[in-house]
Every structure is written in structure tokens, then in C-alpha cells.
Structure 1
């Protein structure tokens, strides 16, 4: 009787917007080759009130879902938890694939990140003095130069509350993991993420562009880059 090996575990860690499986619709097909788990970070339970960012809790969620080991794919702020997990348990994390990683504590003193912190820092400092709607409006104005309208629906109000509770990503305790196969994919639209990607490339990561602005994982090229990277580090050609 022929024995089939089990597919390797892969966990997906979302950013600050969409979460769970909804954050990775273009990559659901990866489940044909890998044992895919689409995680929800701390405070992103749809049945509970949003909670403040907890970097350590996010890291534990990643590690608890890796089982005996696997690959971690992360987007934006989710890359913080992915990198922390790799530092904490290098024996479990076999590779990292980071889409537009918001690992700003690594580049805190570099020019683009410094400017970003100067622009966004006062808004973080004021969040306890603002209600959810006020913070959401200021966030849109400061970050995107847009005037946001009033919150219309329950989900909009929950999303605004969650946004206000997010900690500055440059406060995360991050370190580089030497020798870990790492792919960084950016959309080529925002100097902030390019600065992070270039820094990670200087430490040994592979940096590629895929378009798609802040969500390169939603593009055909982004999926192709991830697929090729995973096969290069695992030697797999498909699910047995």
C-alpha cells in the first residue's frame, strides 16, 4: 500500500483590516497543496468587542497554530507576529512570506519611517482623548488626506473602534532571524513599505514587487511569487 505524506502546515496572519480567511481570498487555493490555517489575531473575534493590540498574544496565536512546524505568510501588521514567532521558536517556523510588512521598529531610525512616525505619532498619542468616530476621521485625514464621513453601520463602528485600539507598529519588539528563508513582496506604491523591504533584503530576505498597492497578495503575480518561493524552500511540487 502506498503511503502519502501529510501536507505541510501554513498559517496566514492578517493585517489591520480584513481578518481570518476573508483577508486571503486569492490564496485559498493554497489549501490544495498545504494544510492552511487562516488565523485571527488578538482582538479580531467577530463575536466579541475589539481589544487593544497585544504583540505577545498575536505571537502565541501563530505558534499555537503551527503545530510541529510550518510556514508563515503575513500581511502588514501581521508580519510583526510572524517575525516574533520566528525569533521565539525558530525550530517551528520554516519560512516567512511577508506582504507589505509593517515592521517599522526595524526601520524606526530610517528616513521614511521617521517621517511617518512624526506624522502619525501625535494621532496615536491622542487616541485616548478621541472617540472612535473622531479617531477614524483623523486617521483618514492624516494618513490619506481624505475627509471621512460619519460611521453608518454597526460593522463600521466596530472597525473604527478596533482601529483606535491598534498600537503603533514601531513599538513592537522585533529582531532579525538570520538564515531563515524569507520572501518580502511589496506593491511598489508606498516608500514606507519599500524602506522596510529594502532593510529586510539587506539582512538576507528576497524582495520582489507584485503591484496591487497595499495588497500584493491579491494579484496573480503575488500568488505566483509565493508559490515559487514555497516550492524552493520545501522542494514540494504539489500535494501527494
Structure 2
């Protein structure tokens, strides 16, 4: 059994691309694999309940012009389309993702984490959903096959916050400062939304005994998001 842990954030455009590339590699792999989605917040300081257009928030965060942000979005949208993803940054809104990550741990406890992860990323990047809003999150949980009432309760009572903190602490221990980051059997690390061949190689080499050090901080052009590059 190959165990894959993936650190990513709901609002990270390269994380969704990396998810698709990993899935393509897994589709052609012969063997038992389990995937766990680990929590990582690109910007924990994002205000709660203030879903501004991502173009506005990113321009302010990076000190970039509107034209520069549009160019950045156009490039990543084009790359996402190659993976069958339809990004719509005109609809996307900023969100603090802490509660979304708590809900993903709730989903894990009920055997539906993969389904909810896909729903949340699709909702954010394609549908313009506010993934920081409890009602929206609970509805997405219901769409992923979870009990919507139980999801609302978990969101309301602060459940699974410790699990989110534990994931983030483990990321720090590994030296992860950008996402997506993939760890195979706690030994092989892949940093960023790498090409398909890299994931295929990682699957083959998952019995290596040394965890490769993650790459250094990257900008949005490298297939990885850091806290100061593309927290959208």
C-alpha cells in the first residue's frame, strides 16, 4: 500500500491542478494507494466574512496592477484547462479556509474526504462559491454525500480544529512553505503541481528511505503557491 499525503489549500489554483495530475498518475498505476488531504492555509489572516473579488485582494497583497493580475489569472486558467478544469476568477471570492479544512477532517471521519475536497475546489474555482461561509460549506458537504445537519453542527462547535493545527505543524516539520506538496509513504516528497511524469516516478520510487527536501519558496509561475504569491 502506498500512502500519499497532500498538503494543499482550497483556494490555491496550483493545488487543484496538482490534484488532477496526481489523479492522472494514479489512473495508470497498478497497486493499492490511499490519499489523505492535509490542511494548509496560505493566508490565515484572511478576514472571515469578507468575500472580496480575488483580483482586488491579490493585487493589494502583491502590489500588482490589475493588468498583471489578469495576466497571472489567464496563464493559470489556461494551464488548468489542459487538465480539464474550468477556472472562473471573475466569480471567485476570497475566503478564510480554516473552517473548510475543519470540514474536510469531518468528511475524513465519515469516509467522504475525497468527495468533499473535489466539491470545495470546484465550487471555489468554477462556481464562485464562498467557501468561508458555513451555510455554503454545509451545502457542499451534503452534495458530497455527507449529513448536512451534522456538518453544520461540526462547523458551529469548532470540531476538528486540532486536526487542522496538527496538519500545519507537520508541514512545518517537513519544511513545507508552499503548496501543493505531496508526500509518498513519508519518504518521497514532490513539491508543486509537477508534470505527470514526476508523479509517476514518485509512485515508482515510493520505497525510498529519505524524504527529499522540499523546494524553496516559489512564485505563481512555478506550479506552487506560497503565502505571498497566489493566496486567492
- TM-score (norm: length of structure 2): 0.28
Bigger Cα Rg: 1
Greater RCO (CA < 8 Å, at least 6 residues apart): 2
- TM-score (norm: length of structure 1): 0.27
